[in-house]
Amino acid sequence: MDAARVPSARTLSVARPPCVLKLDGLAAGKGVWVCRTQDELDSALEVAQAFDQPFHVEELLEGPELSVFALAASEAAVAFPPARDYKRIGDGDTGPNTGGMGSFSPLPDVADEDSQEILETVHLPVLRELARRGTPFHGLLYAGLMRTEDGLRVIEFNCRFGDPETQSLLPRLEGDLLPLLAGDLSQQPEVGDRAAVTVVVSGGEYPERSDQGTPIAGVEAAEAAGALVFHAGTALHDGQLVTNGGRILNVVGTGATVAEARSAAYEAAAHIDFAGMHFRTDIAAGG
Ligand code: GLY
């Protein structure tokens, strides 16, 4: 990012709170420690040093997060509208991190149209730098961003669509996505006016443990109420839908506004029923 002049967190030479410790490698989403106090830093250093890989220390950034996805073909790219996900298991962003407990789009604080500027200041410089190094990138470049007091900063990149942001983006798209996915970037994604809210329904012990074999009822009723239901951790046992993972279902409501989409998502989620099921009740509450 420094080489591409893309704004990110500054690397610190000394570990002193407040700061963030990050493992320098893949860690199944468990390689980042936010340290606001010396105690948090001490225990993070202990855990990080137990991994057999280098780690580094960054300044702690604060602010709301957003995700912007771009489809790229080397130095050309088109961006999708911003979406926001909710990473903690509990309402009010409490409890452990998860793969994502909900999402929504559009955002109240970053307009759909702002994706173009984010593409130009974040994705395109990185794509040009990759091409310059002889490693051009083709595919989906996901920028995880934070809106700090000093402007947007990149928190992470992924080379895939985001989950569960994509569940809230796809219902907003009009037109054919396939040419874009096939690398024809002559058209921008067509985005409709509707809003979408995704509520993730997880097993009761997620993220510590996944859930297997618990019968699930109510998916048809949720769909009949107008929601899209994307399966994440389900299986069919003798024709019965059962749980088979941590995050089980994504219930997506759409509407003219985020508030309408939110009501639609929660009304539909109320039809889903399985023992121990959990979902956050504050997805898009400020949207
Ligand atoms: N929503 C977070 C991720 O897909 O990594």
225-270 pLDDT, tens digit per residue, is 999 999 999 999 999 999 999 999 999 999 999 999 999 999 999 9
- What local confidence, expressed as pLDDT, does residue 89 receive? 96
Nearest residue (CA) to ligand 1, atom 3: 162
Q: Which domains does the chain have, with CATH numbers?
A: 1-60 (3.30.1490), 194-269 (3.90.600.10)
83 in contact with ligand 1, CB cutoff 6 A: no
**Residue 33 · residue 44 · CB < 8 Å:** yes
* Ranges of the chain whose pLDDT falls below 50: none
- What local confidence, expressed as pLDDT, does residue 287 receive? 63
| CA–CA distance, 107 with 105 (Å, rounded to integer) | 5
Residues ≥6 apart with Cβ < 8 Å to 244? 210, 211, 212, 213, 233, 234, 235
- Half-sphere exposure of residue 49: CA atoms within 13 angstroms, side-chain side: 6
148 in contact with ligand 1, CB cutoff 6 A: no
The alpha carbon of 255 and the centre of ligand 1 are apart by a number of angstroms equal to: 24
203 in contact with ligand 1, CB cutoff 6 A: no
103 in contact with ligand 1, CB cutoff 6 A: no
Name the residue of 140, 146, 163, 230 to mutate for ligand 1: max ligand atoms within 8 A of Cβ. 163
The alpha carbon of 275 and the centre of ligand 1 are apart by a number of angstroms equal to: 26
Give the ligand 1 atom nearest the CA of 165.
1
| CA–CA distance, 127 with 264 (Å, rounded to integer) | 38
| CA–CA distance, 131 with 141 (Å, rounded to integer) | 14
- What local confidence, expressed as pLDDT, does residue 239 receive? 96
Give just the sign of the alpha carbon dihedral 187, 189, 192, 193: negative
The alpha carbon of 210 and the centre of ligand 1 are apart by a number of angstroms equal to: 18
Say how far residue 79 (Cα) sits from the centre of its chain: 15
Nearest residue (CA) to ligand 1, atom 5: 162
- What local confidence, expressed as pLDDT, does residue 31 receive? 87
Give Cα separations from 138 to 6, 73, 77, 183 (angstroms): 19, 4, 9, 8
The alpha carbon of 150 and the centre of ligand 1 are apart by a number of angstroms equal to: 24
212-232 pLDDT, tens digit per residue, is 999 999 999 999 999 999 999
**Ordered alpha helix ranges (H), 93-164:** 114-118, 124-132
The alpha carbon of 263 and the centre of ligand 1 are apart by a number of angstroms equal to: 24
**Residue 250 · residue 192 · CB < 8 Å:** no
- What local confidence, expressed as pLDDT, does residue 51 receive? 87
SS3 labels along 13-39: CCCCCCEEEEECCCCCCCCEEEECCHH
Give Cα separations from 246 to 80, 194, 207, 234, 269 (angstroms): 28, 29, 6, 9, 17
Smallest CA-to-CA distance from 8 within 182, 217, 153, 141 is with 153
165 in contact with ligand 1, CB cutoff 6 A: yes
| CA–CA distance, 205 with 287 (Å, rounded to integer) | 28
